[in-house]
Amino acid sequence: MSIDVTRQVSLNIAALESEFNAITNNLANVSTAGYKRFVSSFAETLARQQSLLGDNDISSANLQVGIDFSQGLSMIETGRSLDVALQGKGFFVIETAEGPLYTRNGMFRANQNGQITDSLGRIVSGQAGPVTIPADIALSQVNIAADGSVKAGDTTLGQLRVVSFGDNENKLIPAGDNCFRAPNDLAVLAEENAAIRQGYLESSNVKMIDELVDMIMVSRLYQANMKFITARKDAGESLMSLAMG
């Protein structure tokens, strides 16, 4: 019995550590355009379990671990013609040698051949191949409409591809560089309801205050659980010294 409790406490500690790491990652990425925060309600669930929130109804606590794909907190106006923000669900598609990646960071640029790329120079996928801006058209003349169609005056240059994953968004795997990878069996759907806004960037959805509150709760719970181990060790020691005389 008591071994079980100690085991659970050490599991708690490990889980709190990774939740703390996730919070620090959210905080580090508070200014990263298109970043989606990592949520874990482990600490909250644990606090309920250990009656720290004055409510020990565990069934009401729903353990959630994953990425919160909600819209970023604000649209930041930049005025750059190749900065685009997505309003609503969906992702831009980045072409890489290892297959497509999905991102909501729309700080794009044109490469030396006029193709629209992300900031690492990887091609941004269009409905029909990469969108290319011809050399005789200036970047400031490029208009990107809400449906992603890229135009210069009356000439259509292409259309940015926007996809979504329906209710399976939570199966996406973060791949770094603001991108997500989709498992092979995940259905990629064309997204038609997302509105693209040119000249804006989507901010991250990290709320500094919420993360700070979570961080305090996690560190307090961590300390409480550590204290428990200390207490057990002390109790064990006095029992031993009693037995040994």
Partner 1 sequence: MLRAFSTSATGMAAQQNMVDVIANNLANINTNGFKRSQIDFQDLLYLKLRESGTEVVAGLTAPSGLEIGSGVRVASTVKVFTTGELQNTSRPLDIAIAGEGFLQVSMPDGSTKYTRDGALQINGEGNLVTTTGFQLEPAISIPTDAMSIDIGKDGSVNVMDGSGNISVVGTLQLARFPNPAGLSSEGDNLLAETAASGTVITGTPGENGFGSIQAGFLEKSNVQMVTELVNLITAQRAYEINSRAIRAGDDMLRTANEIVR
Alpha helices (H) along the chain = 2-28, 42-49, 208-244
What is the closest distance, in whole angstroms, from the C-beta atom of residue 190 to partner 1 in the complex?
Answer: 25
Q: Is 22 in the site for partner 1 (CB under 8 A)?
A: yes
The piece of 93-101, 143-151, 156-164, 209-217 that touches partner 1 (CB under 8 A) is 209-217
Task: Please give the Cα distance from 118 to 105 (Å, whole number).
Answer: 8
b/e map 171-185, b = 16+ CB within 10 Å:
ebeebeebbbbbeee
Task: Please give the Cα distance from 160 to 142 (Å, whole number).
Answer: 13
The piece of 21-29, 94-102, 159-167, 236-244 that touches partner 1 (CB under 8 A) is 21-29
Query: By CB neighbour count within 10 A (0-12 exposed, 13-18 middle, 19+ buried), where does 6 fall?
Result: middle
Task: Please select the residue that binds partner 1; options are 2, 4, 54, 241, rule is CB under 8 A.
Answer: 4
Task: Please select the residue that binds partner 1; options are 176, 185, 241, 244, rule is CB under 8 A.
Answer: 176
Backbone angles phi, psi at 36, to 5 degrees: -110, 130
């006095």: which residue's tokens?
A: 238
Structural contact between residues 48 and 55, judged by C-beta atoms closer than 8 angstroms: yes
Number of residues binding to partner 1, judged by CB under 8 A: 75
Spell out, one character per residue from 226 to 245, where the chain touches partner 1: x when CB under 8 A holds, - when not.
Answer: xx-xx--x------------
Q: Is 31 in the site for partner 1 (CB under 8 A)?
A: yes
Q: Is 140 in the site for partner 1 (CB under 8 A)?
A: yes
CB count, 10 Å around CB of 222?
18
What is the closest distance, in whole angstroms, from the C-beta atom of residue 149 to partner 1 in the complex?
Answer: 19
Q: Is 160 in the site for partner 1 (CB under 8 A)?
A: no
Q: Is 143 in the site for partner 1 (CB under 8 A)?
A: no
Task: Please select the residue that binds partner 1; options are 30, 52, 75, 188, rule is CB under 8 A.
Answer: 30
* C-beta of 147 vs 227, nearer to partner 1: 227
Instruction: Give the contacts of 7 (CB within 8 A, at least 6 positions apart).
Output: none
- Tell which positions 91-110 bind partner 1, by CB under 8 A: 105, 107, 109-110
The greatest distance separating any two alpha carbons of the chain, rounded to the nearest whole angstrom, comes to: 95
Q: Is 223 in the site for partner 1 (CB under 8 A)?
A: yes
Q: What is the DSSP letter of 200?
A: E
Task: Please select the residue that binds partner 1; options are 190, 208, 213, 235, rule is CB under 8 A.
Answer: 208
Structural contact between residues 201 and 78, judged by C-beta atoms closer than 8 angstroms: yes
Q: Is 60 in the site for partner 1 (CB under 8 A)?
A: no
What is the closest distance, in whole angstroms, from the C-beta atom of residue 194 to partner 1 in the complex?
Answer: 21
Q: Is 173 in the site for partner 1 (CB under 8 A)?
A: yes
What is the closest distance, in whole angstroms, from the C-beta atom of residue 158 to partner 1 in the complex?
Answer: 15
- Among 48, 49, 45, 25, smallest CA distance to 37 is for 25
